[in-house]
Amino acid sequence: MSIIKLFKGLIHHFKKEKRPTKKTIQPVIIPRSEHTISRNVISPNALKVLYRLHNANYSAYLVGGCVRDLLLGFRPKDFDIATSARPEEVRQLFKNSRLIGKRFRLAHIVFGKEIIEVATFRTHHHENANEKDARMVKGMIVRDNVYGDIEDDATRRDFTINSLYYNIADFSVVDYTKGMDDLKHKQLRMIGDPEKRYHEDPVRLLRAIRFAGKLSLIISPETEEPILRLSYLLQQVSPARLFQEVLKFFREGASLATFKLLQKYHLFAQLFPETQHALHQQDTFHFIEKALHDADLRLKQDKTISPAFLFSVFLWRPIVQASKKAEDAGHPPYVAFEKSIRTVLHAQHARLTIPRLMTQLIREICLLQLQFTYRHDSKPYRLLSHPRFRAAYDLLLLRAECGEPIRELADWWIQFYSNEHAREEMVKTISKEHIHKKSRRKNRRRNRFRNHSVLNNSEPESNI
Ligand code: CTP
């Protein structure tokens, strides 16, 4: 062995020695008779996975959001499992599994549309871990694959309420972090030093807000205190990950409460800087609040929501602002508007990577706002059959309700959309007016030409 190798070995040895010995925490075990989680409310596929791991002599627990939601009486959106089995061992037990992830190596067990995520117990990141398994950049975890036991796994999680384990061996709930108490007191508390934990993964700032909004929790003072101060950390998170987090805000039925919290903690400006800027405009707050309130209501009624519509709402006022500026700079209205959509979407991309397909939908929803002003001949029928009509129509009504001077136009469309029998007559009347206007415009132009005045652009007037 070379001297260098020997030297490296010695350093490694001393580093290991220096690592503090683990303090063992006595978990609180809540027996089946003292909690509300019944196997009837657990996905049969998750139960199958738990039992197979258990029968193969691995420990296996439901963990995270599903245990939290079950205890609060909500239907979990998915079921995650933590186990002592290594990813390769899980892979061997389940033919229908695949290993995924670099940052976190996980097994996905696939049952048709349902995927059960199985993760091996992991420990906290520590500096002397192998670079291949764990990596920190500027205090932020970029790879985290150091395995440990259930206690390690419990204490490395973000919030205490997310660190409860449902044990398939005896159906008890295992609690290392007093999560059950916090759940009872509706309190959101970070495990460990909140400031350090936010630095490790700044997305936790958004997760705190999301859980507080969705589950009506009070953020504990020490967990709350750094949020405002550290909001800038979101700039270090990839725009693709931020987009996924924002989608969760929309999809959980508490987007209005979450929006208000994002404002309170100055996090919204990090996600939607252009929209934040437009919030100073009269009624923009109300405009966004109304859209989010309606989206939450739809989810409560088991209806779907359209994230593209909500993004269009967020970006609408910045687009209109930019468009006015472009018009002032001499661009014709349509060109100015089209250009502004592109500019605002481009700026938004720097913060959130909105996928191309959704960008296209947002573009269409916004552009259709111009088309609503053309109501003669076959135009309104064509608009009605446009795949994005409904979302664009909803935006039109929202604009009318929140201070834009388009009430007459919106009422016309409400009538046209809802009363099939009135359509023909409505279009006839508008078409006559259109012919009238056109000839008046022609005459005006002819007169102006005669008077040698400057020709105006021929773009139709818009209501934007
Ligand atoms: N987790 C964490 N830190 C993160 C992300 C996740 O500690 N930055 C842990 C938490 O224990 C969390 C679990 O991983 O409960 C699963 O994360 P995820 O599925 O993203 O969220 P859930 O907590 O399950 O919440 P929801 O299902 O509402 O998204």
Crossing angle of helices 239-251/203-215, nearest 10°? Answer: 0
b/e per residue 301-337 (b: at least 16 CB within 10 A): eeeebbbbbbbbbbbbbbbbbbbeebbeeebebbebb
- Indicate the pTM of the whole model: 0.84
CA of 424 to the centre of ligand 1 (A): 54
Q: What residue owns the CA closest to ligand 1's atom 18?
A: 65
What is the model's pLDDT at position 458? 37
Tell me whether residue 302 is one of the annotated catalytic residues: no
Residues of the chain with pLDDT under 70: 1-23, 125-145, 436, 439, 442-443, 445-464
Tell me whether residue 170 is one of the annotated catalytic residues: no
What is the model's pLDDT at position 46? 98
- On whether the CB atoms of residues 394 and 400 are closer than 8 A, the answer is no
Instruction: Please give the structure tokens belonging to residue 266.
Output: 């100055």
CA of 158 to the centre of ligand 1 (A): 8
Classify the C-alpha dihedral 173-177-178-182 as positive or negative: negative
Give the separation between CA 352 and CA 437, rounded to whole angstroms. 44
Query: Cα 288 to the chain's mean position, in Å?
Result: 16
What is the model's pLDDT at position 377? 87
Tell me whether residue 78 is one of the annotated catalytic residues: yes
**Which atom of ligand 1 lies at the shortest distance from residue 211's CA?**
28
Q: What is the pLDDT of residues 266-313, one digit of tens each?
A: 999 999 999 999 998 778 999 999 999 999 999 999 999 999 999 999
CA of 162 to the centre of ligand 1 (A): 7
* Among 100, 95, 127, residue whose Cα is nearest residue 111: 95
Residues in the ligand 1 pocket, defined by CB under 6 Å: 64-65, 77, 80, 157-158, 162-163, 201, 203-204, 207, 248
**Which atom of ligand 1 lies at the shortest distance from residue 248's CA?**
29
Type and span of the H or E element at 99: strand 97-100
What is the model's pLDDT at position 138? 60
> 């193969």: which residue's tokens?
56
Instruction: Please give the structure tokens belonging to residue 364.
Output: 């269409």
CA of 88 to the centre of ligand 1 (A): 23
Give the separation between CA 135 and CA 131, rounded to whole angstroms. 6
What is the model's pLDDT at position 334? 93
Of the residues 78, 181, 377, 394, only one is catalytic, namely 78
**Which atom of ligand 1 lies at the shortest distance from residue 65's CA?**
24
Of the residues 69, 144, 153, 158, only one is catalytic, namely 158
Q: What is the residue-wise DSSP string for 323-380?
A: HHHHHHTT--HHHHHHHHHHHHHHHHHTTS---HHHHHHHHHHHHHHHHTT--STTHH
What is the model's pLDDT at position 139? 61
Q: What residue owns the CA closest to ligand 1's atom 4?
A: 158
β-pair type (164-167, 60-63): antiparallel
Q: Which domains can be identified in the chain, with CATH numbers?
A: 19-185 (3.30.460.10), 294-431 (1.10.3090.10)
Q: What residue owns the CA closest to ligand 1's atom 26?
A: 65
Of the residues 69, 80, 153, 201, only one is catalytic, namely 80
What is the model's pLDDT at position 403? 86
> 């009509």: which residue's tokens?
389
Q: Say how many C-beta atoms besides its own lie within 10 A of residue 10's C-beta.
A: 10
Q: What residue owns the CA closest to ligand 1's atom 12?
A: 64
**Which atom of ligand 1 lies at the shortest distance from residue 204's CA?**
8
β-pair type (187-188, 218-219): parallel
CA of 157 to the centre of ligand 1 (A): 8
Type and span of the H or E element at 119: strand 114-120
